[in-house]
Amino acid sequence: MDTLADLGVSDDDVVVMTVPGALEIPGVLSKLAQSMQFDALIAIGAVIRGETYHFEVVSNESAVEMAELYAVIDQLDPDADASDEAAND
């Protein structure tokens, strides 16, 4: 939050959400992105390594879903085509 403030982002412009676990992050980000109400989405998650294989499954699945979500979010950007066309002119 301090870094955002240093960059000029007002606390009133920040929405903090929590989820039960790392696997839920992509789903929440997807809904937030589809709302088109945010200029940026920042996700922070932690997966604690235990004695089971669970850590690898959660880490890998979260990473894959986040990568797939990035592609979807990129397609949701209504200005993407306009800026791409302007860059090609």
CA distance 89 to 87: 6
CB atoms within 10 A of CB 88: 6
CA distance 43 to 18: 10
Active-site residue, selected from the candidate residues 13, 14, 54, 81: 54
Residue 54 known to be catalytic: yes
Which residues are marked as active site? 54
